[in-house]
Every structure is written in structure tokens, then in C-alpha cells.
Structure 1
Amino acid sequence: MRLLLAEDDATLAAQILAALRESGFAVDHAADGETAAFLGGENPYVAVVLDLGLPKRDGIAVLSGWRAAGLAMPVLVLTARDAWGDKVAGFRAGADDYLTKPFRMEEVVLRLRALIRRAAGHASPILACGPLEHDAQTGGFTLEGMPLRLTAYEARILSYLLHRLGRVVSRTELSEQLYDGDSDRDFNAMEVLVSRLRRKVAPCRIETLRGQGWVLAAPP
């Protein structure tokens, strides 16, 4: 699944990017508010990590602009501003969660996963499709109680399909979640990944709907 990180501190941004990618996310990075506003309006991110103290356009203005445009992706505000008034301003602008610096990278990942899960309509952190289970907080997968070995790309695809269990996901939509903005969209490689996953998650079914995309369905 694909995230946007808006953070102007190069060292901190590199650390957060590494932690998020290690946790299985595809991540785009914006180092200023104007870039963040543009990327957030053009791409279907499942969540955004937003610093308030951005150059060119501050985070409150960026967030307010997204919400005014009807963009509903979950936003985790990550900032050194810990005053109550700053928190109120962040939530009034449309933030879904607020974390002040310094922080633990593990907490950033946990909060993001919770936001993504709830935005997809799931109350429980365990997403299930028959004997296939995904712990949305740890990122792990099991099949009939045994750990499921997946590549990073396979895990991104399966996590996205499980969050949208029973819904049709188009090839374009899936590619937008599989690759970040710096990667080439390889539809043939994606078809191969889905084919491999189909064998790994049986008896759950990844069905192909011609001209529409794929849907993950529980076994009959």
C-alpha cells in the first residue's frame, strides 16, 4: 500500500522512509508543502504522514486544502508543535491522528496501520478470508495458522486485497498501491505476482473479472 510522507528534515525523512518501506509500504516523499499538496491531490494514497512546519506552504494549509477538495485519506500529523492550540488546529484542519516529536518509528507504523484499517471499515486488527489471516498491526500473514512466506510486493498486494475483501480492485488501482512514484508500472510483472499469490493463498480465491480487475473472495 502506498503512503505520502511530507517532511522537510532530510535526516528524519530518510529515517521515516526506511522504517515505512521496511514495514512493507510504498512511499512517496515531499520536502515542502507545495509538493505535498500537489502529490496528495494527484495520487490515491491510503494514508499521509504530514509535518506541520513545511516550507513554501505549512502543513495546516496543505491539510485544509485537501479536505476542502473532498480528499478523505487518513492523515497522521507528525510535528514538533506540542502546544494544545497546535493540536486543536491540526484536528480542525482535518487530521485523523497527531504525534509529536520525538517519537518511536514503531509507533508511527502502528498508528498508520490502525488509520488505514479503520478507513477501510475494519474494526478488528485481524483481517480474515477463510483460513487466511492478516494481522493489520504487525503486518504478518498466516494460512491455517502457519506463517505465510511472501515477497514484499506480494505482501503489498495481499494486504490491499484483504483490506478490500470482496471488492473489485482494478489493475490501475492495484498498480498505484504496489509501486511508489519513482517506480515504473510493470503490469506484466503485477500479473505474475497475482498469479503466484493465487496459488499461495488457496483455498481463498483471487478471482479475475475480465475488463475489471481482481477480487479476493473467501472459499465457498
Structure 2
Amino acid sequence: MTDEKTKESQYNIALDYARARGLEQMGLMTSQAWYDDPRRLTFTLARYKFVSKMFSGRKHALEVGCADAFGTRIVAQEVEKVTATDFDPVFIKDVKDRMSDKWRFDCFVHDMLADPAPGAYDCMYALDVLEHIEKQDEDTFISNMIAPLDMDGVIILGMPSLESQDYASPISKEGHVNCKTMPDFKVLMEKYFKNVFMFSMNDEVVHTGYHKMAHYLFALGCGKRA
């Protein structure tokens, strides 16, 4: 690669980056998805894109259940600061081992069922997390999650719809113990927020269409109840 040049000069930046820093690496989960089901990665990144645009201009975002945090950079493009947490040390080590100086963010192990995360935040999100929390623990999880959220802060939770589980992969189904219908998801969120806005998602497209045909659900909550 030392003497190579691209035929169109504007693309030599790709060679320059590779020579100086090596190639960017995927995380543990995204690498597995790219190998087993490349399409799935497009859905995951589209969810992060939705969060990033909803939070654009916010000061400090908390991500709960970040796993390998491959999509966290997308949110970091739109908010001033991101802090990411996961209860699994294996994933947090992976995130830290791949951390880029250009996209550096705080990342630490934390179990949201044990206690709230330290810090103060004006926005927070958890994608593909709540469906892994047993129903009897969901109130503890959400209460602890939103404890450090500003009273005028915003939260986004995303999960596969209950209706989608007939088509879920075996790996997904194994951990999905608490998927919900959109009406049930909204009722849960309204216990904690005065205003809850629901969105459907199919593949990479977020919309307000018929919820029973949605593969994925977003709940956006604002106006935290005292």
C-alpha cells in the first residue's frame, strides 16, 4: 500500500487514513451481524440516526445498554457529549479497546437494575434493551434510568414489537422476555412522562403507520413526572 494511489485523487484520503491509523474496526456484536446478516446492521444504524436527530443540539446524552457502542458515534455527531453504559464488562472492554481519539466518549460498566447511573443528563436512550428486562423489573429499570434525567429532559426507548416476534431470529428470541405492543408500551411510559410520542419502524424507515404491522417501536418521552 506504500506507493499505491487511487485513480481519482480525491480518494487518496482513504489510503492516507489506512496508512496512518489502520482500518476502523467493528465491535463484537456488529461484526457478528455483518457476518451473519449484513442487512441487520443497516436497521441498527438507522435507529441510532433517529435518536441522533431527535437529540440534536442537546448537551449530554446517556446511552443505556450500549453493547459494543458501534452506533454511538452517530449520536455523538449531534450532541455535545455522550456517556455510554452496559452491564456486561466484555462489551465495555471491547468499546474501550476500539476507542478513537476523534470520537472519544465516556464508557463504563453499570447495572441499571442496581442503582441510577452517576451524572446529570438532558437526554437518554436505550435501544434493544427493555425487551431483555423481566416485566417485574421494568419499573426498577426505568426509575433508575431516568433518576439523573433533567425535569425537562427527553428519553427514547426502542424495542421490537410483540407482533414481530413470530419472525425474530433464534438469537433474538432467546433474550426477548418483555416485548410489548405499542399501546402497552405507551401506557408504561406514561407512568413516568407527561408526554409520550410513539413511532413505528420497518426496516430503516421510521413512521407513524399502523403499529400492529411495525417490526420495531420507539417511545419518546418528555416532561418527567415528579
Normalised by the length of structure 1, the TM-score is 0.32
Give the TM-score normalised by structure 2: 0.32
